[in-house]
Amino acid sequence: MTVDRDEPDFSRPLAENGSFALTFPGFVPRRTQQLLAAAVGEALQTQNVLIAEAGTGTGKTFAYLVPALLSGKRVLISTGTRALQDQLFHRDLPAVAQVLGRPLKTALLKGRANYLCRHRLDLALHVGNALFDRRERAGELAVIRDWAGITRSGDIAELAALPEDSSLWPQVTSTVENCLGQKCPEYSRCWVLEARRRAQEAELVVINHHLLLSDMLLKEEGFGALLPGVDCVIVDEAHQLPDIATRYFGASLSSHRLQELLRDSRREYREAALDTPGFEPLLAAVEAALAELQQLCANLEGRREWGELRPLADFNLRLAKLAAAVEGLQEALGALAERSTGLENCRQRSVQIAAGLRKFAASDVDDNQVRWIERRGHGFSLNLTPVDAAGRFRDCMSEAHCGWIFLSATLSINGSFEHFRGRLGLDEAEELLFGSPFDYEHHALLYVPGTLPEVNSPEYTAAVVRAAEPVILASGGRAFLLFTSHRALREAAALVRERWPFPLLVQGEAPRRRLLERFRELGNAVLLGTASFWEGVDVKGPALSVVVIDRLPFASPADPVLKARLAALERQGRDPFMDYQLPQAVLALKQGVGRLIRDEGDTGVLMLCDPRLRRKGYGRLFLDSLPPMRGTDDLDEVQSFLARILPAQAAT
């Protein structure tokens, strides 16, 4: 690597005698962090493409923030989730800027649904009790009203008093569809526009992957971009990007979207056109057609490919009936649209929804797309997804005319980035791979029990619970049990609920954030979780001493998008299992394993229960992709290890 002597030394602040070591509490200089910072700095200056895996503990966040702040470039940082956005913007970024003495004009930008809409709040307050399905919603609305008078950003993440999944949030935030734009009476005070204005003026903007993909699509389609032009995009938690890109380059239409149109249309009609007869029956016709389709979807489980729907002819008939009903509503809204801005907005939305329904009902689908349906609670979503989004993503990258840096703790498969590069079409890029600096060899033990049945056995989950029980008892709780399916989680929870003498926390019984708070507070809890707990979860210290993973995380072969992707690989003469299913599972396992050791002082046991690790040839690829830790199949050794580390943990 060559760095021009006139350019700043991006690694120096992170060195042994650098500003972080001198002023930042608890900072530990790491050579890998310095090398990563230097590489990020060079990519920023040259606007090249860099792919870097930095194992847990490398200090990845500081390694890209330091050069981002020192480079003098306009930088966009994209994170995997809104929670990580908030952490980066409110905690990490100010800390680094203070140490460097480099105040920068920064901005936090989220999607519009994350900001309170003053106009829709006024509408909700006006409608009052008719809006609520439960009495407590009236109290929640009063809380939002009071907060609206003091917030400076309108970012709903500020209002922790309300649950993230409150049904009230969609009533007081806007979407691209129901936003009135310049015709909104609160346009001059819009928090979304204010957030975008700050982003346009900032030198560094923090966004999330969903907003990044949304903006890339706008540029691709020739519309004005939401985000400012930048010199470089830094993508943190980049392992999430391929799946998000695939969803964004497709199309979807949900029953919830239809219900929102019906609710808003009824409200706008009653406000501005109640003297016009015949409108309510049209709304009722759409509601009836939607209810028929929902009833047909009631027995669906998970995702289903279009051709698997039974009876398909009946489904298509009801879909066409719903499309015709929406078109009837569209015609009526067209006649009333001049009465109010809200009615005109509803008309535009009805046009889009009717076109979407006709598109899904069409018989022809592009070979690179798969059409499928997913049940969501009492509703459904219709989806059209590309089998391979690499080409479109590569084209969008080229249109951006800037540098790209992709970072994560899990991008490689046994040292190779080929799978990640292929999914995003990254033909040319510099690659860097830094392992974790943590002492896994002495601080962690890998336990693979040797007596489990085959994973497709109906007794498998019960066998996992039996095998995990002596380990959990030896650790005094302090464990995550991670499952690859909700069915297995529910079965395991029923088996251990009255059996294990520790507090039991089960995904779905409380919000994810609250479960993690309780887990940390209790100190001896056992948490059972599925996919959402495999990554983005950080529990340091003795509260987490054991991570049990029930089986290798292969994606469900029934998933329609996966089936289409595997079929496409077969047509290309490739091996779908080796070229796609196996690499995806390895990356997912690495994420789950990463929950165990989060700090230099952490110790613990990783229990991988899947017998295929030893019985199948590909098991070695999984093991070789994990951090270097000592392995055993001896329960006595596991119990001795826990007995040795737990007294030390209890003293900390």
State the DSSP string of 69-111.
HHS-S-EEEEESSHHHHHHIIIIIHHHHHHHHT----EEE---
DSSP code per residue over 282-308: HHHHHHHHHHHHHHHHTT--SEEEGGG
Tell me the one-letter amino acid at 378.
H
E strand or H helix at 405: strand 403-408
Q: 164 and 214: one domain?
A: no
Sheet holding 369-376, edge to edge: 251-254, 379-386, 369-376, 303-305
Domain boundary among 434, 467, 493: 434
Expressed as residue numbers, the domain containing 147 is 112-194
Q: Residue 221 has what pLDDT?
A: 59
Domain boundary among 174, 194, 214: 194
Q: 116 and 101: one domain?
A: no
Flag whether 549 is in a domain: yes
3-state secondary structure 577-627: HHHHHHHHHHHHHHHHHCCCCCCCCCCEEEEECCCHHHHCCCHHHHHHCCC
Q: How far apart are CA 356 and CA 344, in angstroms?
A: 19
CB-based contact 527:515 (threshold 8 Å): yes
Q: Residue 306 has what pLDDT?
A: 87
DSSP annotation of 224 reads P
Domain boundary among 371, 403, 434: 434
Half-sphere exposure of 508 (CA within 13 A, CB side): 10
Q: How far apart are CA 620 and CA 616, in angstroms?
A: 8
CB-based contact 156:173 (threshold 8 Å): yes
Query: At residue 144, what are phi and psi to the nearest 5 degrees?
Result: -65, -45
Flag whether 3 is in a domain: no
Q: 405 and 382: one domain?
A: no
Q: 154 and 276: one domain?
A: no
Long-range contacts of the stretch 272-280 (C-beta < 8 A, 24+): 272/336, 272/339, 272/340, 272/342, 272/343, 273/336, 273/339, 273/340, 273/343, 276/335, 276/336, 278/332, 279/332, 279/336
Flag whether 488 is in a domain: yes
CA-to-CA dists, residue 165 to 170, 171, 508, 548, angstroms: 10, 12, 12, 29
Is this structure's pTM higher than 0.85? yes
Tell me the one-letter amino acid at 442.
H
Q: 46 and 82: one domain?
A: yes
Q: Residue 128 has what pLDDT?
A: 67
What tokens were used for 359?
């598109």
Q: 222 and 77: one domain?
A: yes
Parallel, antiparallel, or unpaired for β 369-376 and 303-305? antiparallel
**260 Cβ contact partners less than 8 Å away, ≥ 6 residues apart:** 170, 175, 177, 178
Flag whether 4 is in a domain: no
**572 Cβ contact partners less than 8 Å away, ≥ 6 residues apart:** none
CB-based contact 552:613 (threshold 8 Å): yes
Q: Residue 3 has what pLDDT?
A: 39
Flag whether 169 is in a domain: yes
Q: 458 and 506: one domain?
A: yes
Q: 271 and 314: one domain?
A: yes
Q: 60 and 133: one domain?
A: no
Q: 405 and 458: one domain?
A: no
Q: How far apart are CA 526 and CA 545, in angstroms?
A: 10
Half-sphere exposure of 83 (CA within 13 A, CB side): 8
Flag whether 5 is in a domain: no
Flag whether 59 is in a domain: yes
CATH number, residue 428: 3.40.50.300
CA angle 171, 259, 138 (to 5 degrees): 30
Q: 75 and 176: one domain?
A: no
Residues of the chain with pLDDT under 70: 1-7, 128-136, 219-224, 226-228, 363, 647-652
Q: Residue 512 has what pLDDT?
A: 84
Residue 354 C-alpha from the chain's centroid: 29
Q: 527 and 426: one domain?
A: no
Looking at the 3D structure of the chain, how many domains does it have? 4
Parallel, antiparallel, or unpaired for β 369-376 and 49-54? unpaired
E strand or H helix at 480: strand 479-482
Flag whether 378 is in a domain: yes
For CA atoms 486, 489, 491, 493, the dihedral sign is negative
Residue 644's closest CA among 611, 605, 608?
A: 605
**193 Cβ contact partners less than 8 Å away, ≥ 6 residues apart:** 187
